[in-house]
Structure 1
Amino acid sequence: MICIMLVVAVVTTPGTSMASVKMEPLARTAPPPVEFKIQGSFDPSNSYLDQGTATISDNGNQTVKISVITEAKSSVASIGGTVYLQKWTGTQWINVGSASTISASNDWYFSGEVVKPAEQGYYFRARVVHWINHNGVYEQGETTSDSRLVS
C-alpha cells in the first residue's frame, strides 16, 4: 500500500492572523489568450474623431470600473463612448448586461467612467465604441481594454 501525505504550510508575517491574509479567488476559466492589439480601430480620414482609450479595473467588490477617453480633432457638438462589458467564457468573449452610453457636449475631449457588476472568478474586458456627432456627421472607432480577473 502506498501512502501519500500532503503537507500545506502557510506563512504569515509576525503580528498577522490567517483572517487578515487575503486569498485570491481561483479563476473559473483558463485565462483568455494573449492577443496582439493595436491602439484601436480609428479611420485616419475621419473629419472629427481622432482617437480613444478604454481601461478596466477591479473594484474588489464584484464590480469593475471602466474608464473611457475619446478625443476629437476639434470641438464637436457631442462626443462620448458606448461601453460594453465582456466576459470570457473559456472559449469566447460575450457581452454581458446592457451597454452604457456616456458623453459630453461642445468639447473636443471626453473622459468618463462606468461601474458595472462583474462575477467573481471570471475574466472581463471592456469594448468601447468611441463616437462624435457634429453638424450631421457621425464618426466612430473602437477600442478594447486588457482583461482583468475579478476578485
Structure 2
Amino acid sequence: MSNVKKLSRVIPAFTATLLVSLAIAGGASADTTEDKIAGALTTPPPVEMNIMNVNPMNSYLIDAVSSIRKTSSGMDISGNTYASQTANSIGVDFFLQRWTGSVWVEVASSSGSSTNSNSYYGTKSFSAIEGYYYRGKTIHFATVNGKTETQVMYTESLLMGN
C-alpha cells in the first residue's frame, strides 16, 4: 500500500515538472528582434510544405498553378487553371495575404476568368507595403454544366523591399 501512495505522489510531481520544463523550453524559442531580417517589420513566416495537388476526385479541373513575383511597387500573383474539357467558366480568384508576425491576413483580392475555354492564365498586380512578407492565395475554378470544381493554392512568401 505504501508503494501506491508513493506512486500517487510521484506521478503528479513528475507531471508538474514536465509541464514547467516544456513551458520554459517553449519560451526559449520565442520571436525576438534578432529573428527579423534587415528591413522586415515582422519575423519571417514559418516555412510551410506546399505540396498541392489537384483533387483526384475532380472530374474536369485537372491542373492549377500559382506564383508570386515582387515588383517595384508591390506584388504580382499569377495563376493558371486547366480543365480536361471546355468549361462554361474557368478562372482564378486571387488574394494577396500579408504576414502580421503571427497570422496571414487577406489585404486585397481580384478575379479573372474566361468563358467557353479549357484554360485560363492571368496575372493581377497588388500594392504592397515595404517591410512586410506577402504570399498569394489562389482559388482555381472550372464550371461545366452547372457543376463547379475548385482548388486552393498558396505561393511562397516574399519580403517587400530591399
Greater relative contact order structure (CA < 8 Å, 6+ sep): 1
Give the deviation of 1:45 after TM superposition.
1.4
Q: Which position in structure 2 is the counterpart of 1:86?
A: 97
Q: Which position in structure 2 is the counterpart of 1:34?
A: 47
Moved over 3 A (4+): none
The question of whether the paired residues in 2 share the 8 Å contact of 1:125 and 1:148 is answered with: yes
Distance 1:37 1:114 in 2: 21
Unmatched runs of 5 consecutive residues or more in structure 1:
1-23
One-letter code aligned to 1:31: P
Q: CA RMSD in A?
A: 1.5
1:143 equivalent in alignment to 2:157: no
TM-score by length of 2: 0.73
Residues 54-69 of structure 1: pairs in structure 2 closer than 5 A: 54-61=66-73, 63-69=74-80
* Bigger Rg, structure 1 or 2: 2
Give the deviation of 1:57 after TM superposition.
0.7
Give the deviation of 1:39 after TM superposition.
2.5
Q: Aligned residues, how many?
A: 125
After superposition, what is the alpha-carbon deviation per residue over 1:72-116, rounded to whole angstroms, capped at 9, x for unaligned?
A: 11221110011111000011111113x211011111111100001
Residues 2-151 of structure 1: pairs in structure 2 closer than 5 A: 26-40=39-53, 42-61=54-73, 63-97=74-108, 99-151=109-161
TM-score by length of 1: 0.78
After superposition, what is the alpha-carbon deviation per residue over 1:44-72, rounded to whole angstroms, capped at 9, x for unaligned?
A: 111111121111111022x1111111111
Structure with greater proportional helix content: 2
Unmatched runs of 5 consecutive residues or more in structure 2:
1-36
